[in-house]
Structure 1
Amino acid sequence: MKAVALYGTIGSLVLTALAAVPAGGLTRPDTAGAGTPAPAPPRIAFGRCAPVERLPSSVECGRLTVPLDYAHPRDRQITLTVSRARATGGPKVRQGALVFNPGGPGASSMHFPMYGKTERWRKTARAYDFVGYAPRGVGRSAPLSCQDPAAYAKIPSASPREPSAAFKRQKYAEAKAYAEGCARKAGPALRHFTSANNARDLDMLRAALGEKKLTYMGASYGTYFGAVYATLFPGHVRRMVFDSVVNPDPRQIWYRNNLDQNVAFERRWRDWARWVAKHHKVYRLGTTPQQVLRAYDTVRARLGHRPLAGKVGSAQLQAAFLKTGYNDAYWPVRAAALSAYVKGNPKPLLRQTLPQPGGEAADENSNAVYTAVECNDGPWPRDLRVWDRDNTRVARVAPFETWDNAWLNLPCAFWPRHAPRGASQDPARFATDVTDAALPQAGAAHRPVDVRTAPGALPPVLLLAAERDGATPYPGAVELRRRLAGSSLVTERGAGTHGVSFGTNTCANQYVERYLLTGRTPARDAYCAARAEPKPVLPAK
């Protein structure tokens, strides 16, 4: 499941020895002693943004050229789109550029420069140019596609809580076809969509902006490739904020992280059910969490057999209600829609579950990049029996999202084996039990980067995490703090909204603002009380 983009919706290429680039240098190739460094990028020529970006005249746009393959940096080049809003405070207070990535993989921050107009970002926007960009594969940055968008967006679709053997076979076939579509449409370029290359692109962006050192803020997946950047280029870091932290342990990337995500989302799902039960007088869905969950499961089963308006099946219902796990702000509106449906009014549920028209191409593109990065970054089981065993086990304790998450990531079981080229994708050839020991190189393009820095190699960085986050479970933040020497962790106690900073938690916002403006971090551990729970919204009559 995606560690979705925030503020709006998971070391590759370490083959033998991958040394950090000396301060002031540029990205080097992955294979020690091979190739030449990537040429220094020219300064970005900013100008008017293309209409397709839908950005105001206060934002300017440009293009950044980077190598497709950093092991052969003078071969094929690709271009990335970049956006910028100048610091509002003038030369005396300007501290450089602040580059932001909202997560994904597959999300763009092209709209980030607009945040400087909001009150929560006002002081920071006085000191920094706000810089957003579309990472490789995303939007107009060498766009990646694996499937016809209309086929990808086809509705209704089913999401049974306990999938049958026939349903699993259907999903296996769909995943295989999707992986083959990625390979066919992208060709040899497919292997180069990785987190390590995202980090190298980020260093090229730093240089093209004229920044000697990088000030960066990453959320969700943006914390992972930001941490990869810190590992590869510690001498290029000025300040870094990591909000809602992915577990960077190479053994977690990405198969185990997704299994852990299922358990964390189940906890958040039950948090929502407890909140709804507490407001039984409003929603009439049950006085206990168990009753609320039974009411939801009844609707889920009903839509699985008879889609609402012929368009909303159980999969569309699941996708809509998964957002309750990402942000508490969805709790009242989803509860109100479910309550109205149970009482005989399906219109609110229909409005909240129908996909937005016109977004099919962007959704397919985002999913293609997500799949390519996750499948390329590390090893995945190739034996479908392993997927079935592990997800069956997890679904016993976390039934809400486990199987949907498995179907999302299943193309990685059939991912092209890049070395040697043309190897068979028949899963029967790979019978290793990959969860009882370290995952082997089961067809992954690369090995994950061993994220870590030595004491003193990296300036202090700031981490933020909510204790009950579903998308990026809290132990990941503790693990990254351990691996980045000198880092500080701000914890939002008892909270689960994915994205701590610059929301409604004043305590967390103050830590981020102080760090970005002064470089000061709190003690190794700091804590903020949870933001207030949302107030109920009356169901439509």
Structure 2
Amino acid sequence: MRAATRYGLLGAVGSLVLSALAVAPAGGLTPGSAASSGAARAAERAAAAGIAFGPCPAAEELPSSVECGTVRVPLDYARPDGRRIELTVSRAAALGEPAERQGALVFNPGGPGSGSLWFPMAAELPEWQRLARAYDLVGYAPRGVGPSAPLSCQDPADFTRAPTPAPAEPSESYKKERIAAAQAYARGCERHAGPSLRHYSSLNNARDLEVLRAALGEEKLTYLGASYGTYLGALYATMFPSHVRRMVFDSAVDPSPDRIWYRNNLAQSRAFERRWLDFRTWVARHDATYHLGTDAAAVLGAYEKAAAELAHRPAGGTVGPGQLQAAFLQAGYYDDLWPARATALSEFLRGDPGPLVRQAAPREEAAKEAENGHAVYTAVECNDAPWPTDWRVWDRDNTALAKEAPFETWANVWLNLPCAYWPAPRQRPLDVRAEPGALPPTLILAAERDAATPYEGALELERRLSGSVLVTERGAGTHGVAGGPNACVNGHLEAYLLQGRTPVRRASCAPHPEPDPVSLERRAHLPAV
């Protein structure tokens, strides 16, 4: 399931992914192939050209303190002198004295399908001011995203059409409808992108990162990746270990080749069930505020009552069970949404659908961006690895899983099902790893109850990258912890990025405080989230 476009620092400024294998690997490109030499050639060319920074495109709505430019990368790294595409890059120059500057810090927020052109705005946040003195904060739109050779698979209006159902136990006829929709979506991607479709992949994203490093004039890369951005960083560290300066992996994807991406999706659905219970338990503790029940089961009953009512009469004409489920899924990512979602559910059941409509209805003005992000997500995940091509495999695995994890399982299936019918050749996932001495120390940050990237992924990444050190926010589940509300986590982040220091061994931080409930007096002033 693709992560929502939000992050520890993004929440203050303002995807995942995740996903036996029924087909053999095809079309694999490895670092020793022609694509590897193509990446070296493209990086040399980018180092000579640099990036001409200037005003940002008006459509990005960035302040004048942020400047933008472009870097050209090969569409196909096996043919570096063939067609090239432009990636848009943003930057806020380091604010400190020249002697303080340590270079560029590049950020990828995950997805795949999310961009970080907004990232330089973090320089204005208190938690980022020391880092902003030492580093140019650099964001970018990865290939296919936003202004960077944007990818589309269908009309945005069709993508955001609402209301939609969300049956916890889909009928056979409904499954057939979703199979047909997945097949049509895969055909739409092929029709819109043509032969270029196969080139939207994680391996090419990692090669693009190497070209960006060179274009920025950096001998070695300093990088912060969140969610899917950790997998991208892990690929880069495996492919270009001598070009790594410092790397932070925040909320790590399990990079095991046999888990990219189908099995990771199964694990994510299971983890979301646990986080959904965390949310309902919190709501029950604050029954005096929300009146949704005094235990998690009662809160679930209130949610299911709302879903049944929305199936009969969509709120605002656009919020059905599918939109309700998507809105509450976001609460599984970010606990700062808990008060807003609980208030919306409470008010809906009391007869006021307004808060729920404001939080859950699709926004027409965001349809194009949402469709683009989903198209990139789908293309990258489907291209990255083999997926089961027999619906019976999906049906068997997820029918069993839905018995223990009903909240997200089927929504996750429908999101990823186009990969069963994908028209482009699949790649062979890279075996991510670094032997002792191959990399400088790297830092892994993880919340113990993260649902989008289950904690086991951080443990596996630590095992695979020799010299990495894991910092855990115990008992917490917000997805993306760097630059968020936990001062202990941020202290480790600063010590590493500013001084190159990591803990001697694994370290733990106490959880950030759970959110305060929203009182009856404050409900009327609660913004839509």
TM range (shorter): over 0.9
Runs of 4+ residues deviating >6 angstroms: 33-36
Equivalent in the alignment of 1:429: none
Instruction: Give the counterpart letter for 2:460 in structure 1.
Output: E
Q: Is 1:48–2:55 an aligned residue pair?
A: yes
Instruction: Give the counterpart letter for 1:215 in structure 2.
Output: T
Q: Is 1:160–2:167 an aligned residue pair?
A: yes
Of 404, 411, 424, 1:397 maps to 404
SS of structure 2 residue aligned to 1:481: helix
Whichever structure has more helix as a proportion of its residues is: 2
SS of structure 1 residue aligned to 2:355: helix
Q: Is 1:29–2:34 an aligned residue pair?
A: yes
Deviation at 1:342, TM superposition (A): 1.1
SS of structure 2 residue aligned to 1:329: helix
- C-alpha distance in 1, partners of 2:40/2:228? 29
Equivalent in the alignment of 1:497: 478
Q: Is 1:148–2:160 an aligned residue pair?
A: no
- C-alpha distance in 1, partners of 2:415/2:507? 35
Give the conservation status (yes or no) of the 8 Å contact 2:74–2:80: yes
Structure 2 vs 1, CA of residues 74 and 46 (structure 1 numbering), >3 Å: closer, same or farther?
same
- C-alpha distance in 1, partners of 2:260/2:515? 34
Give the conservation status (yes or no) of the 8 Å contact 2:39–2:211: no
Q: Is 1:249–2:230 an aligned residue pair?
A: no
Which residues of 2 match residues 341-360 of structure 1 at below 5 A? 341-360=348-367
Which residues of 2 match residues 130-149 of structure 1 at below 5 A? 130-149=137-156
Deviation at 1:417, TM superposition (A): 4.2
Equivalent in the alignment of 1:2: 2
Equivalent in the alignment of 1:190: 197
Of 273, 279, 284, 2:280 maps to 273
- C-alpha distance in 1, partners of 2:29/2:133? 44
Equivalent in the alignment of 1:199: 206
TM-score, structure 1 length as denominator?
0.91
Instruction: Give the counterpart letter for 1:376 in structure 2.
Output: N
Of 463, 466, 470, 2:451 maps to 470
Give the conservation status (yes or no) of the 8 Å contact 2:39–2:207: no
SS of structure 2 residue aligned to 1:358: helix
Give the conservation status (yes or no) of the 8 Å contact 1:250–1:448: yes
Of 513, 524, 530, 2:494 maps to 513
- C-alpha distance in 2, partners of 1:533/1:155? 32
Q: Deviations over 1:62-99 (max 9, x none)?
A: 01000001111111100000000100002110000000
Equivalent in the alignment of 1:362: 369
Deviation at 1:333, TM superposition (A): 1.1
Aligned-residue RMSD, C-alpha: 1.7
Which residues of 2 match residues 279-428 of structure 1 at below 5 A? 279-418=286-425
- C-alpha distance in 1, partners of 2:3/2:58? 29
Of 8, 31, 38, 1:18 maps to 31
Give the conservation status (yes or no) of the 8 Å contact 1:240–1:462: yes
Instruction: Give the counterpart letter for 2:147 in structure 1.
Output: R
Give the conservation status (yes or no) of the 8 Å contact 1:454–1:485: yes
* Equivalent residues, number: 505
Identity level (%): 60
Instruction: Give the counterpart letter for 1:533 in structure 2.
Output: E
Instruction: Give the counterpart letter for 2:300 in structure 1.
Output: L
Give the conservation status (yes or no) of the 8 Å contact 2:166–2:321: yes
Q: Is 1:537–2:518 an aligned residue pair?
A: yes
Structure 2 vs 1, CA of residues 133 and 122 (structure 1 numbering), >3 Å: closer, same or farther?
same
Instruction: Give the counterpart letter for 1:105 in structure 2.
Output: P
Give the conservation status (yes or no) of the 8 Å contact 1:14–1:30: no
Which residues of 2 match residues 210-249 of structure 1 at below 5 A? 210-249=217-256
Equivalent in the alignment of 2:75: 68
Give the conservation status (yes or no) of the 8 Å contact 2:383–2:424: no
Give the conservation status (yes or no) of the 8 Å contact 2:29–2:428: no
Q: Is 1:458–2:471 an aligned residue pair?
A: no
Q: Deviations over 1:377-410 (max 9, x none)?
A: 0110000011111111110000001000100000
Give the conservation status (yes or no) of the 8 Å contact 1:98–1:215: yes
Q: Deviations over 1:36-84 (max 9, x none)?
A: 8435211001111111111111111101000001111111100000000
Give the conservation status (yes or no) of the 8 Å contact 1:13–1:196: no
SS of structure 2 residue aligned to 1:62: strand
SS of structure 2 residue aligned to 1:137: coil
SS of structure 2 residue aligned to 1:462: strand
Instruction: Give the counterpart letter for 1:2 in structure 2.
Output: R
Q: Is 1:179–2:179 an aligned residue pair?
A: no
- C-alpha distance in 1, partners of 2:260/2:419? 12
Instruction: Give the counterpart letter for 1:447 in structure 2.
Output: R
Give the conservation status (yes or no) of the 8 Å contact 1:36–1:73: no
- C-alpha distance in 2, partners of 1:172/1:85? 45
Instruction: Give the counterpart letter for 2:479 in structure 1.
Output: H
Deviation at 1:177, TM superposition (A): 0.3
Deviation at 1:524, TM superposition (A): 2.6
SS of structure 1 residue aligned to 2:362: coil
- C-alpha distance in 1, partners of 2:415/2:265? 10
Structure 2 vs 1, CA of residues 225 and 14 (structure 1 numbering), >3 Å: closer, same or farther?
farther
Equivalent in the alignment of 2:21: none
Q: Provide structure 1 residue ranges, at least 5 long, that are not aligned to the other structure.
A: 20-27, 419-444
Q: Is 1:169–2:179 an aligned residue pair?
A: no
Q: Deviations over 1:197-220 (max 9, x none)?
A: 000000000000000000000001
Deviation at 1:523, TM superposition (A): 2.1
The worse-fitting range, judged by mean Cα deviation, of 172-181 and 152-161 is 152-161
- C-alpha distance in 1, partners of 2:40/2:156? 39
Q: Deviations over 1:251-307 (max 9, x none)?
A: 110000001000100000000010011111111111110111111012112212321
Equivalent in the alignment of 1:481: 462
SS of structure 2 residue aligned to 1:206: helix
Structure 2 vs 1, CA of residues 16 and 60 (structure 1 numbering), >3 Å: closer, same or farther?
closer
Q: Is 1:126–2:139 an aligned residue pair?
A: no
- C-alpha distance in 2, partners of 1:16/1:410? 24
TM-score, structure 2 length as denominator?
0.93
Give the conservation status (yes or no) of the 8 Å contact 1:95–1:128: yes
Of 405, 428, 431, 1:447 maps to 428
Give the conservation status (yes or no) of the 8 Å contact 1:391–1:403: yes
Instruction: Give the counterpart letter for 1:483 in structure 2.
Output: R
Instruction: Give the counterpart letter for 1:40 in structure 2.
Output: R
Give the conservation status (yes or no) of the 8 Å contact 2:29–2:427: no
Give the conservation status (yes or no) of the 8 Å contact 1:88–1:127: yes
